[in-house]
Amino acid sequence: MFRILAFASFFLVSFWVGAQPGQTYLQFPGGPGPGQGKHIVLVAGDDEYRSEESMPMLAKILSSRHGFKTTVLFPIDPSTGDVVPNYQNNIPGLEQLQTADLLILLVRFRELPDAQASYLEEYLLAGKPIIGLRTSTHGFAYQKNKGSKYAKWDWMSKVPGWEQGFGKRIFGETWVNHHGIHGKEGTRALLDGVKQNANHPVLRGVKDIWGPSDVYGIKNLPKEAEVLFYGQSTAGMNDQAPLIWEKSVMPIAWTKAYQLEGGKPGTAFASTMGASLDFQSADLRRLVLNASFWLLGMGDAVTAELNVDYIGTYSPTAFGFDTFRKGIRVADFN
């Protein structure tokens, strides 16, 4: 009886202990499960695809269902303390990366203070694994402080070795275009398209992914990037919409090695999917969890039945600029 109560207590703590009033990040303790003893940091920081909703959802699954300690960071307007996705210049808590084993990133056009960006640089110099979702290919844009040592991260950078910025250097691509018609076409994963990767642990149990966000154009992935599967535009914004075969297919999930000057080699996983609405697809959630396990050297623990069910409910907001919920504090995402 005591053991049952203890497990129930852990579950409640892992679900409810996230942020207190005034805190700037969520944290869910790890516990029993394959991820026990490992720390995953998830960074929300885009102004269109509601990462402030999807990252806490993924963090809860990783913590409560699989034992990882998880921390979620948000863009915070320092004048109010609110979560404001279009506030480009502040993601407090990045020092949490000092103890992180994995980083999951969904950011767009951020320009962080050097003191914050330095923690991300330190993480990458250590060669630790990273997942980049959707707009992370164009995660940084330096307009105010072009003298920053991190201005080379700008998605239009021309600095030698950092051409096209952070996204290109780490994930292999920057912003190209909307290959699909934004707001009118969705994305269907073509999971049978790359036969040599059919048995990759990241794809284990992944059978069906559709999302309402459109296909991104991908033009210049480097030869060392390994495409796991491609995606095709759908003629409509529901999962029954037919494929538009007149359009070319595009890579939508791949892996890539990275290494910064003076740093250790590391591995990245990237996907151009990742809007909060996309994560209503159980197999997209599965893809990200599988990638997390694999990047942490836990590929053998990935099974086709890995539990990706929500903790509580998940009711994502439609993507769009300025569609985020106003007056929200970090504690509201517990």
Write phi, then psi, for 52 (nearest 5 degrees): -65, -15
**Across the chain, what does the average pLDDT equal?**
92
| ∠ CA 48-115-68, rounded to 5° | 65
pLDDT, residue 192, reads 85
- Residues 180-217: tens digit of each pLDDT: 999 999 999 999 878 788 889 999 999 999 999 999 99
279: its two tokens: 């994560």
Q: Tell me the average confidence (pLDDT) per consecutive run of 10 residues in the chain, 334 residues long.
A: 38 44 86 95 96 98 98 97 96 98 98 98 98 98 94 97 97 96 95 83 96 96 95 95 96 97 98 97 98 97 96 94 92 89
pTM (predicted TM-score): 0.92
pLDDT, residue 75, reads 98
User: 86 with 321: CB under 8 angstroms?
Assistant: yes
| Angle in degrees, 0-180, between the axes of helices 51-60 and 282-295, rounded to the nearest 10 | 70
**Fold observed for domain 2-178+251-333:** Rossmann fold (3.40.50)
- Residues 94-112: tens digit of each pLDDT: 999 999 999 999 999 999 9
First to last CA, the chain: 28
pLDDT, residue 334, reads 83
User: 16 with 27: CB under 8 angstroms?
Assistant: no
Q: Could you tell me the CA-to-CA distances from 174 to 88, 141, 158, 165, 210 in Å, in that order?
A: 18, 11, 13, 7, 23
pLDDT, residue 22, reads 66
pLDDT, residue 21, reads 55
